[in-house]
Amino acid sequence: MSRPMGDSHKRFLQTLMSNGIISSIQAKALHRHCCETHGAHYSADRLDEFIDVINANLQPMFMYIRKGMSEEDGVQYYALVNTAETDITRMSSDYADNELELFRKTMDLIVDSENGAASSTDVLNCADSLQTKKMKKKETELVLNKFVQDKWLNEKQGVYTLSTRCIIEMEQYMRLIYQDLIKVCHVCHNVAIQSQICENPTCGIQMHLPCVAIYFKGRSDPLCPACNQFWAHEIPVVTCTLSRPPEANGEAEL
């Protein structure tokens, strides 16, 4: 029997639903705001418990608030995700069949790439060979923009990457569909789309850039944790609010 939700929990959930994904800083502020608004007992270090209550109530609806890390800057986020496929979710997508197919092809390109990114040129080439319904250049650009607006893709100078929201939501599916093709971070064991790869051809382990920053912080001579070879990449600098990303095995959910 799950603990019942108070108005503070409901308000938190509604706000998260409106936004799809929020940073952990926003989540902390929202937690405090919701508790204060409804006179609920508030403790700053009890956010995870607070969210556990919501998740216990969401579980029967195949929904879950999941924590994940941005591959760009290591910031932690909370996203509302679906945990199961139903007839309803399948038929109620916001996107047309060919738009979904385009997204799938874009994701394929990104997962397949070394740098975890796809150029707009490459995506446009895919649009030309869609099986559902072909898409012209202008329409493809609009659809890609929609995906960026809806926070599924990031775009920078004509290059597309998977957003944090996308990775948090899709991680389990990506592992299932792509299997060995998908890279996994050696440090945090989560899926790693953008990563640094060990130059040793017999090693080849991958690490998220923020995970590299934490792991090699302060070391003048970075060595691969798996094979001890010199880690021949530029080590990113840790920015202020980095913390250890959640371990992949640490979740209890459907």
Partner 1 sequence: MIAMSVLHVFKSSQRSQQVVLDEDDDGDASYTQPTSSQVQKARENYTPVQVDRKVAEVVQFILIKDQKKIPIRRTDIVKHVIKEYKALYQDIMKRADRIFEQVFGLKLVEIDAKNHIYILINKLQPVPGEPISMCPGNPKTGLLFVILSVIFMKGGTVKESEYLEYLRIPHTEPLEHEFRWGQRAEKEVSKMKVLEFVGEVSPCLLHSVYSITLLYLSV
Contact set with partner 1 (CB under 8 A)? 4-5, 7, 10-11, 13-15, 17-20, 22, 26, 29-30, 33, 37, 57-58, 60-62, 80, 82, 85-94, 96-97, 100-101, 103-104, 107, 132, 149-150, 152, 166, 169-170, 173, 177
Provide the minimum distance between the beta carbon of 86 and partner 1 in the complex, in angstroms, as a whole number: 5
Between 81 and 214, name the residue whose CB sits nearer to partner 1.
Answer: 81
CB of 154 to partner 1, least distance (A): 15
* CB 170 to partner 1: min, Å: 6
Residue 94 or 221 having the CB closest to partner 1: 94
Choose among 30, 112, 40, 64: nearest CA to 252.
64
Q: Which is nearer to partner 1, 21 or 214 (CB)?
A: 21
Query: Cα–Cα distance between 222 and 210 in angstroms, integer?
Result: 15
How far, in Å, CA of 172 to CA of 73, rounded? 22
Instruction: Please enumerate in sequence order all residues whose Cβ is within 8 A of that of 8, keeping only pairs 6 or more positions apart, or say none.
Output: 34, 35, 37, 38, 40, 50
Q: Of 100 and 124, which has the nearer Cβ to partner 1?
A: 100
Whole-number Å distance between alpha carbons of 138 and 198 = 39
Alpha helices in the chain (DSSP H): 7-19, 24-37, 47-58, 87-91, 97-112, 120-127, 137-149, 164-178, 209-215
Sign of the torsion angle spanned by Cα atoms 67, 70, 73, 78: negative
When the beta carbons of 169 and 207 are compared against partner 1, the nearer one is: 169
Query: Min. distance of Cβ 238 from partner 1 in angstroms?
Result: 26
Query: Minimal distance in Å, beta carbon 208 to partner 1?
Result: 22
